[in-house]
């Protein structure tokens, strides 16, 4: 392998596109049928068209029109940058075929090794009856029954995904050919166009560092091929080349993980050093995990990439005030999560008693209970799996960079479909606890929050840094509130103003005034401790002092 690399002017490593695997697996599309045979027949049905709309897709897949639209929207959300769907809401046939093939991928399931330790049971809630409704490989269930050490890392997931591609890439490449094209390969341009669709699932990196388009990578390969194959051999040669690069990438990734687990760098092994130098250095998702009874704040300069994951957090408040493309909230309970602006997809899965505030293009909720979603969302929020006692509400907060972040990810603040939930059934065919033969049953529809219970969520002043002309007010909310919610906020503000005015107008002696102030402070302090909010106050103060210190260092 080392000799091949030295002769080639270009060394390519492959990485699975995490967006496709993290946000492109839909519970209701898994199937036990042979995917290659099924999709080959399906593509034959699409022979007369290169683009498919929701009506045709609904008819061919025998799913509802809503589900067909959701499939097309999901494909749009995971396409590589620069590749967009037609404005008419249609999907490219080859992207659709690869997306449907991906539905037979099974996520990496954690191993059950240790029973609950006293330390874990002291921190995490006990298992509830609701756990029976959640997939056995849910992160929340896994964390409750195992130590943190055995949670799969991103590197583990990458290896698992590469292994899947290694086993299935040949079938995928076969499906990309036009019906009958395998006998009439008369256009290299056509071949490259077809294979370029693989970009929805994999990424190519030049020398392991610089991402390059698939077409460019294949062109480099063809130009450097000394055998100069005939046009009829191009498909076979390209297929072998793609598989070879996946094999090499898988070997590199496994080698790196083994080194890390063993805590050693084998400097004496020249081939190991060379392999290690070519490990893909693309940014990983920022991960906030296993937080308990704490507050965490991350802003734009704290995040390395455009994707975040909040996993297995309990009784915590998480602020992620940044422009993002993707966000995952998984296995969290009794917590509050505040997201900045998310330009593609937010996925919330396996959460309990969670409050989440988000401005996003689209939202997908799977297997959650007793959660409240405060949303500014451009597409209908989708609810999959077995959800219970969920509430939806309009967006309810503001911070100084919010409008800037919304513009960066191209959200439309004039569209907010928070109160149009799309419920697509309870059956999750990716859930190993799902029994074969059980049909979809009607799922609970989330309810809109009572306007009397709706309130603004105030982000602490030391993180907003607003100027005097940008107050935290109703008008500061970039999304228009329905009238009944606006009226309730105005009532709350008026009641507070009346109380303040009453105190100002009350004629009290100086000593009595001090006693009143002391009594108010005492009751407020008691409320802080009783509600647990005092912990958040201390956490945020410490973070603020640290940030001020770092700012002085930067100056």
Per-residue pLDDT tens over the stretch 362-388: 999 999 999 999 999 999 999 998 999
Q: Is the pLDDT of residue 465 over 90?
A: no
Could you give the residue range(s) of every CATH 2.160.20.70 domain in the chain?
286-476
Specify the CATH number of the domain 26-104.
1.10.238
Per-residue pLDDT tens over the stretch 61-96: 888 899 999 999 999 999 988 777 666 688 899 999
Q: What is the pLDDT of residue 366?
A: 94
Please give the biggest Cα pair distance in the chain.
100
Tell me how far apart the alpha carbons of residues 193 and 181 are, in angstroms, rounded to a whole number.
13
Per-residue pLDDT tens over the stretch 280-312: 555 678 899 999 988 899 998 888 889 999 999
pLDDT band for 481, please (50, 70, 90 cuts): very high
Q: According to the per-residue pLDDT averaged within each range, which of 25-39, 347-361, 448-462 is highest?
A: 347-361
pTM tops 0.85: no
Tell me how far apart the alpha carbons of residues 507 and 510 are, in angstroms, rounded to a whole number.
9
Helix/strand/coil for 323: strand
State how far the alpha carbon of 438 is from the alpha carbons of 32, 387, 427, in Å: 14, 17, 8
Specify the CATH number of the domain 286-476.
2.160.20.70
Q: What is the pLDDT of residue 45?
A: 81
Q: What is the pLDDT of residue 267?
A: 43
For the chain, give the mean pLDDT: 77
Q: Which residues contact 176 (CB under 8 A, 6 or more apart)?
A: 94, 97, 98, 194, 195, 197, 198
Per-residue pLDDT tens over the stretch 24-49: 998 777 666 678 888 888 888 887 77
Could you give the residue range(s) of every CATH 1.10.238 domain in the chain?
26-104
Q: What is the pLDDT of residue 140?
A: 46
Q: What is the pLDDT of residue 466?
A: 45
Q: What is the pLDDT of residue 264?
A: 52
Where do the H-state alpha helices sit in 427-509? Answer: 461-464, 483-505
Q: What are phi and psi for residue 507, nearest 5 degrees?
A: -90, 105
**225, 7 Cβ separation under 8 angstroms:** no
């Amino acid at each position: 392998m080392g000799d091949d690399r030295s002769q080639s002017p270009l060394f390519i490593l492959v990485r699975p596109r995490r967006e496709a695997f993290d946000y492109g697996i839909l519970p209701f599309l898994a199937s036990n049928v042979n995917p290659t045979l099924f999709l080959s027949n399906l593509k034959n049905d699409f022979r007369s068209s290169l683009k498919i709309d929701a009506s045709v897709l609904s008819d061919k897949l025998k799913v509802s029109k809503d589900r067909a639209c959701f499939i097309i929207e999901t494909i749009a959300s995971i396409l590589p940058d620069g590749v967009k769907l037609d404005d008419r809401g249609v999907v490219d046939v080859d992207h659709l075929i690869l997306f449907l093939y991906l539905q037979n991928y099974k996520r990496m399931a954690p191993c059950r090794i240790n029973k609950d330790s006293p330390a874990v049971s002291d921190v995490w809630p006990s298992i509830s009856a609701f756990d029976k409704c959640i997939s056995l490989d849910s992160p929340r269930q896994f964390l409750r029954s195992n130590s943190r050490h055995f949670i799969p890392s991103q590197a583990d997931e990458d290896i698992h995904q590469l292994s899947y591609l290694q086993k299935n890439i040949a079938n995928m490449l076969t499906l990309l050919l036009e019906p009958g094209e395998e006998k009439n390969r008369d256009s290299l341009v056509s071949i490259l166009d077809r294979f370029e669709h693989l970009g929805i699932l994999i990424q190519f990196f030049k020398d392991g560092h610089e991402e390059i388009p698939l077409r460019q990578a294949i062109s480099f390969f063809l130009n450097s091929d000394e055998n100069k194959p005939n046009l009829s051999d191009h498909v076979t040669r390209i297929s072998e080349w793609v598989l070879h690069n996946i094999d090499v990438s898988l070997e590199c990734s496994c080698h790196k993980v083994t080194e890390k687990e063993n805590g050693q760098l084998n400097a004496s092994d020249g081939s190991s050093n060379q392999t290690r130098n070519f490990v893909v250095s693309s940014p990983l998702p920022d991960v906030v995990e296993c937080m308990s009874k704490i507050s965490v704040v991350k802003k734009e300069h704290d995040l390395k990439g455009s994707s975040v994951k909040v996993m297995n957090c309990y009784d915590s408040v998480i602020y992620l005030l940044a422009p993002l493309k993707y966000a995952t909230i998984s296995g969290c309970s009794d917590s509050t999560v505040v997201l900045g602006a998310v330009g593609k997809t937010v996925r919330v899965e396996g959460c309990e008693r969670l409050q989440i505030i988000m401005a996003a293009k689209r939202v997908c909720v799977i297997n959650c209970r007793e959660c409240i979603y405060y949303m500014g969302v451009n597409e209908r929020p989708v609810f999959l799996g077995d959800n219970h006692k969920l509430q939806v509400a309009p967006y309810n907060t503001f911070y100084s960079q919010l409008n800037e972040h919304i513009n960066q990810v191209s959200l439309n603040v004039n569209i907010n479909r928070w109160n149009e939930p799309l419920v697509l059934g309870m059956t999750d065919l990716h859930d190993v606890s799902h029994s074969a033969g059980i049909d979809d049953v009607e799922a609970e529809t989330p309810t809109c929050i009572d306007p009397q219970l709706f309130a603004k969520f105030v982000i602490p002043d030391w993180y907003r840094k607003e100027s005097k002309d940008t107050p935290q007010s109703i008008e500061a909310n970039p999304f228009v509130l329905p009238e009944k919610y606006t009226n309730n906020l105005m009532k709350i503000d008026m009641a507070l103003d009346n109380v303040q005015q009453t105190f100002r107008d009350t004629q009290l002696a100086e000593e009595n005034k001090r006693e009143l102030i002391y009594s108010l402070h005492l009751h407020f302090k008691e409320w802080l401790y009783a509600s647990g909010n005092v912990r958040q106050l201390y956490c945020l103060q410490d973070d603020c002092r640290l940030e001020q210190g770092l700012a002085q260092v930067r100056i």
